[in-house]
Amino acid sequence: MLTATETADAVRAGRVSARDAVTECVDAIDRSDGKIGAILHVDRDGALRAAGDIDRRLAEGEDIGPIAGVPVAVKDNICTIDSPTTCASGTLKGYVSPFAADVAERLVSAGAVIVAKTNLDEFAMGSSTESSAYFPARNPWDMSRVAGGSSGGSAAAVAARIVPCALGSDTGGSIRQPAAFTGVVGLKPTYGRVSRYGLVAFGSSLDQIGPVTRDVRDAALLLSVIAGHDVRDATSVDRPVPNYVAELDRPIEGLRIGVASDYFGAGLDDAVRTAVEAGLDALRERGAELINVRLPHLKYAIACYYVVATAEASSNLARFDGVHYGHRTADPKDIFDLYSASRREGFGAEVKRRIMLGTFVLSSGYYDAYYDKALRVRTLIRGDFEAAFEKVDLIASPVTPTTAFPIGQKSADPLAMYLADIYTTSANLAGVPAISVPCGLDGDGLPIGMQLSAPWFEEDRLLAAAHQYQSITDHHQRCPKQ
């Protein structure tokens, strides 16, 4: 299957029709996804109609957009009009949104065809896609392993070559971690760079939508399409969107890359450490300068994140009460039973756990001890990044402490699952952009990711460095055996 960039070029040149590109994609889903579980909903007929319309408009000489004819899969917590948006939750089973997310509108306006909605941890709460109410997404490199989460379906679909690209959402690493586990590229933009309108909220001060792709060029292409100001999102920032693709060839000679020992402490798997260090050596050989930096409050990131994120989740998910929409219990005894039974039946164990944690830290007598303190720590973490970026242009780190773990290994141990996000949550707490790029394989042949972070709204610098890394390595060209 062609990459997104290759597909767009081929459709524009008339070598491939949009209908052929979409047909190849939906056929690949039918053929392969039964084993993987990356996809929750497919709109074959709607996608083929949209592709046919694109071919007609191209034949009439119309300039449709930069990704005309490119099939895209969208995480199932991003609202689309013509297919369900369930958040992989029983409480939203069969729900179809009356409006489309800003990113979905931008994709369609740029000529893309949304072919499928991808699997995820329920309401994006998880690190393995095992909390999906339907089925887990499996890692195409080893079907006994997780694909990561919460955007595991998006990453698995791209890694398995059943779609050329996808969108995910990242609240604490939910794009970058599954990208690392499956050997693809995952980008979390700066908070406010991409509109959250139409994204079903988990942690409103943390959530960002971003691309999952096979290479950095595709990530730059998709970001150029979905980024931009949206008046419907109060957190959307009104500033120009660079031509990220045009900036990819920016040389990295003299680029200062920070390496924080705080990211390379106890618990980091030896194979991951070796691969990331080899990636840093490759960047240094290309002309980058490696500089030691400190992020002294990084050790508090997990605790801080799981207070802030659960508090916001508790507030955001209060709307799913069985009254206006979503699952409603049958024959409730009274209004209290309606609320409690509908939520008990509709939500899975992990979502219930996070709602209870969030309600606890926001409750009277505990707000100051937990939530207020977490916000203060968050400010310190942001300050660490501000201080580091006065000395360096980027910061490099592992994405995950290990490679993909077996399905079921951590599902009964929430703390172990939460610790899998140890290297990713800080970027969400600070709001900085970060990308995961493949940098090697472990002894079991499982992918390893390297993370690069940049100052706020410096995605062009981030993407250029990642692209230059991919120009001298071939890790991103490897794919699982079909």
400: left (phi over 0), alpha (psi -120 to 50) or beta: beta
Instruction: Please tell me the chain's helix, strand, coil percentages from 3-state DSSP, rounded to the nearest 5.
Output: 40, 15, 45
Phi/psi for 422 (5° steps) reads -60, -30
By DSSP bridging, strand 165-170 and strand 138-139 are unpaired
Q: CA 323 → CA 38, 296, 316, 335, 353, distances in Å?
A: 31, 46, 15, 10, 22
Is there a cis peptide before residue 127, judged by omega within 30 degrees of 0? no
Report how many helices (DSSP H) and strands (DSSP E) the chain contains, helices first: 15, 13
Alpha-carbon distance 205 to 67, whole Å?
30
What is the total residue count of the chain?
482
174 noted as active-site residue: yes
Choose the catalytic residue: 150, 195, 426, 436: 150
Choose the catalytic residue: 127, 169, 174, 314: 174
Q: CA 73 → CA 76, 92, 200, 327, distances in Å?
A: 9, 19, 17, 26
Choose the catalytic residue: 75, 117, 188, 410: 75
Is there a contact between 274 and 448 (Cβ–Cβ < 8 Å)? Answer: no
Alpha-carbon distance 76 to 97, whole Å?
11
Q: CA 4 → CA 18, 110, 113, distances in Å?
A: 12, 13, 11
Question: CA 97, 77, 373: angle at the middle one, nearest 5?
Answer: 125
The residues carrying an active-site annotation are 75, 150, 174
